[in-house]
Chain A
Amino acid sequence: MIAGIDLGTTNSLIGVMDAGFPILIAGEEGERLTPSVVHLPGPLVGRAAARLRVVQPANTISSIKRSMGRDVRFHGKNPEEISALILGKLKRDAERALEQTVSRAVITVPAYFNDGQRQATKRAGELAGFTVERIVNEPTAAALAYGLDKLNAKSKIAVFDLGGGTFDITILELNEGVFHVLATHGNTRLGGDDIDNALLSEIEIAREGDPLFTARLREAAIEAKHRLSLEEEARIELPFAEGETSFSHLLTRAGLERIARPIVEKTRGHCLRALADARLSLADLDQVVLAGGATRMPMVRRLVAALFEREPNTSHNPDEVVALGATIQAGILEGAVQNMVLLDVTPLSLGIETFGGLMNVIIPRNSTIPLKAGEMFTNAMPNQRSMLIKVLQGEREMARDNWPLGQFEIAFEPGAKGQARVGVQFEIDANGILHVLARDTKTGAEKIVAIQSAVDVSDEAVEKMLGDSVEHAFEDMNERILTESKLKASEMLAAVRHAFGIIDLSAEEKRKVEVLAREVEAAMESGELARLKKANAALDEGTQRLATLLVERAMEKE
């Protein structure tokens, strides 16, 4: 028996095939969703750990998925080990419910995960005692669940998957049970967590040095965010937050949407790129389906409807659809599901560094996997003994801008320049994981090349990541937001001066804008974040008419 697992940023689920249908298994507490939260030492996992988040935030780890593939530690454990604790809990829950050992699993990852993040997920599964039969992309898994009952149909679908931590858009074609992914795009650092962070920084009363209050506020804000998917307003209340007094803040849906809009809008560019890579236009698509909890937000649904020019299909529960798909893939692998096969792609281009620090693409993004691509290397100098090859993943032209996967050395036989030849095969398996084989052109013998990991995380990257863990969220974030706000202020002040030279406002209007601009200058000077944000927002609001006039004028000239 193979289990299907959705190892999510916020929640995780496990399922198995039962009489030809995927079913999800409830944990001890009767719920199918297990919070991806770990409390250390202990360890406690799931709902029990989530309850401690507000009491002992420093010892409770959430959103560990955002750190996968990175060299960081929390309480002495790396992200794989922490993820393994979550997977171990799912395993025990499944074994209890099924009364048998469950030792094989299919685990989902965001489609846009790179090689290192996939390997880390696979190792986490192995640490938890699973044989990991397949790493499958979340949006593709969702497509399997949506397509299960329409196998004979031919159609093209887009899967819009906005989860707690990551965003993916996948375009695929269904044809007689073949689920052929045409293109995928995404961002592994874009999700509901970012909305929560923005919401918290907006509420403004997060106080440094009070992690308990911050943790409680975060919990309450998230709960309010969820309520606002159904209601127009929600009150965030923390009884006795400040000794005698209680904290209370009214959040409206419109208010939440204003905060979330810049984050949600970031999905647009990825969707357009995926469509372009799939070489489809909107009219070619038959439907758009949703996955991930953040797609419950009405504004996300509106954005999807506007972008794809149709209402999204919401017939599946967005929290469960990925786990159902993982379970179906498990069924395909064990033979319980027939007439279905999944053809996925590698999300990122794979290449090697060449002279001048450029990236030479060997396998372009959105290539169907599994696949192999060969490259021949020859000696550039007489009797050159070896050559160092650096392997990269990404879409940027310069090697240094891409993600380093690692490096390996190939050995040359002594010979004149250009005489020694070694063929190297880059193979991406069905999990999206890279293997490198070197072939001696004389003997034809192939050998697996071990890649030395290139994980050397810069201080900056560590800092950025620490920003994701609850205990460090604030000091780091306030700093970042202050820098961003200052940049925004400078840009606006320059724009106001420039616009005054083009548009003739009435003296009254001009004076109003000038007052707002002076307050932005003063706030920038003071370095007070709250004041600067307020001043920025006011100037933004106060220059709306000016912006409209500018655009109108430009359009007249067109």
Chain B
Amino acid sequence: MELKEKFHALTARHHPDIAGEAGDFQALNAAYQTLREPRTRLRHLLELECASIPGADAPPGIAALFMKMSALQQAFNAFKPASTPLAQALLAPERWKLIRSFKECLAVLDAGMDELLEELRRIDSEWPDKKPVDRLAALCQGFSYLSKWTGQAREALLSLNA
């Protein structure tokens, strides 16, 4: 949480309500938003390192996950919640099944995220002696997909539990 602490300390000095000027704070805010997410942080690093960001294949396992996620999302879209207790009771088994599937999916996504972070740490420990930009581009893609699906799965769980 070091990054957030720093952001708060600088905000206390540069926020327009205190400093009067909006420009500095907007730059600070943009920097914080970029650095707090692995995906945007990596993208920024790639922009600094390469003239054009190399195209990359998504990390292995992503394609299989994609199939799984879209099938689940389809089942979720087809699920129509009921408004009366009796109709809800009838739908309970289907709802529980969806909740279970999304929870399993979230666990897989979390594990995938951990793997990517692990690789990022490895790359970081050898930086700047080794600069595997292709790997970074692939990681960036991976983070992109995983965060998008994590968001979708969370959203689905929220409405199924509501």
Contacts of A547 in B (CB 8 A): 85-86, 88-89
Q: Is there contact, CB below 8 Å, between A276 and B84?
A: no
Q: Any chain B CB within 8 A of the CB of A482?
A: no
Interface size on A, residues (CB 8 A): 44
CB-CB nearest in chain A for B18: A341
Q: Is there contact, CB below 8 Å, between B84 and A495?
A: yes
Whole-angstrom CA separation of A554 from B93 in the bound complex: 6
14 A-B interface contacts by CB (under 8 A): A175-B4, A178-B8, A178-B11, A272-B162, A276-B154, A276-B158, A370-B25, A372-B30, A430-B16, A430-B22, A492-B84, A546-B86, A554-B93, A557-B93
Which residues of A approach B to under 8 Å, CB–CB? 175-178, 180, 268-269, 272-273, 276, 332-333, 339, 341-343, 367-368, 370-372, 429-430, 487-488, 491-492, 494-496, 498-499, 502, 540, 543-544, 546-548, 550-551, 554, 557-558
Least Cβ–Cβ distance between A62 and chain B, in angstroms: 29
Q: Is there contact, CB below 8 Å, between A178 and B12?
A: yes
Q: Any chain A CB within 8 A of the CB of B82?
A: yes
Least Cβ–Cβ distance between A556 and chain B, in angstroms: 11
Q: Contact string, B1-37, partner A, CB cutoff 8 A, digits 1/0?
A: 0001100110110011110001001100110110000
Given known A370-B25, A554-B92, A554-B96, contact A273–B86 (CB-CB < 8 A)? no
> Which DSSP category, helix, strand, loop or mixed, fits chain A's interface?
helix
Least Cβ–Cβ distance between A409 and chain B, in angstroms: 26
Contacts of B9 in A (CB 8 A): 176
CB-CB nearest in chain A for B14: A341
Within 121-162 of B, Cβ neighbours of A (below 8 Å) are at: 154-155, 158-159, 161-162
Whole-angstrom CA separation of A429 from B90 in the bound complex: 49
Contacts of B16 in A (CB 8 A): 370, 430
Contacts of B85 in A (CB 8 A): 540, 543-544, 547
Whole-angstrom CA separation of A177 from B96 in the bound complex: 44
CB-CB nearest in chain B for A374: B30
Contacts of B26 in A (CB 8 A): 370-372
Q: Is there contact, CB below 8 Å, between A495 and B82?
A: yes
Least Cβ–Cβ distance between B130 and chain A, in angstroms: 32
Q: Is there contact, CB below 8 Å, between B90 and A499?
A: yes
Q: Any chain A CB within 8 A of the CB of B74?
A: no
Within 37-94 of B, Cβ neighbours of A (below 8 Å) are at: 82-90, 92-93
Q: Is there contact, CB below 8 Å, between B17 and A498?
A: no
Q: Is there contact, CB below 8 Å, between A176 and B87?
A: no
Whole-angstrom CA separation of A430 from B154 in the bound complex: 29
Q: Is there contact, CB below 8 Å, between B29 and A332?
A: no
Which one of A180, A333, A495, A502 contacts B87 once the chains associate, using CB atoms below 8 Å?
A495
Given known A178-B12, A370-B26, contact A491–B17 (CB-CB < 8 A)? no
Given known A178-B11, A273-B158, A554-B93, contact A430–B84 (CB-CB < 8 A)? no
Q: Is there contact, CB below 8 Å, between B162 and A498?
A: no
Contacts of B86 in A (CB 8 A): 492, 495-496, 499, 540, 543, 546-547, 550
Whole-angstrom CA separation of A498 from B84 in the bound complex: 14
Contacts of A176 in B (CB 8 A): 8-9, 12
With A370-B25, A430-B17, A540-B86 known, 4 other A-B pairs at CB within 8 A are: A273-B158, A488-B83, A543-B85, A544-B85
Least Cβ–Cβ distance between B120 and chain A, in angstroms: 19
Whole-angstrom CA separation of A180 from B16 in the bound complex: 15
Contacts of B32 in A (CB 8 A): 368
Q: Is there contact, CB below 8 Å, between A498 and B25?
A: no
Whole-angstrom CA separation of A66 from B85 in the bound complex: 31
CB-CB nearest in chain A for B30: A371
What 10 A-B pairs have minimum CB-CB distances, sorted nearest first? Answer: A550-B89, A269-B162, A547-B89, A495-B87, A495-B86, A178-B8, A554-B93, A543-B86, A175-B8, A341-B15
Given known A175-B8, A176-B9, contact A491–B15 (CB-CB < 8 A)? no
Least Cβ–Cβ distance between B107 and chain A, in angstroms: 16
Q: Is there contact, CB below 8 Å, between A558 and B11?
A: no
